Amino acid sequence: MEMTITEYMKKKYDNREDKDNMFGVGITDAEFRAFAIDYLLGEDWYVVDSLGQTQINEIALAEILSKYSKRFKKEIKPLRGIKRWE
């Protein structure tokens, strides 16, 4: 089941050990990446190829930007003939 950002952060704060701390609980790079991919691309998104995490990050970023960024779509329009951006 897909978790909303509110549910995700509530869970993080509920599990926080230092409850008196006035600063945000924070999230790790891995938590950020996993949440962003699940939230923006869907929890059923995956890469079939056996690639490293940095390569998967690049693919995920390109798909997120292609889906949500007009600026990105405009930027890559001239690159459509290049194999990586087809």
pLDDT per residue as tens, the chain (86 positions): 477 888 888 888 888 888 888 888 888 999 999 999 999 999 899 999 999 999 999 999 999 998 999 898 888 877 666 555 54
Q: Are 72 and 66 in contact (CB under 8 A)?
A: yes
Q: Provide the pLDDT for residue 83.
A: 58
Q: Provide the pLDDT for residue 81.
A: 63
What's the DSSP call for residue 3? P
Phi, psi of 54 (to 5 degrees): -65, -35
What is the rounded distance in angstroms from the CA atom of residue 28 to the CA atom of residue 16? 14
Residues in CB range of 40: below 8 A, 6 or more apart: 64, 67, 68
Domain ranges of the chain: 5-9+26-85
Amino acid at 28: T
Q: Provide the pLDDT for residue 85.
A: 52
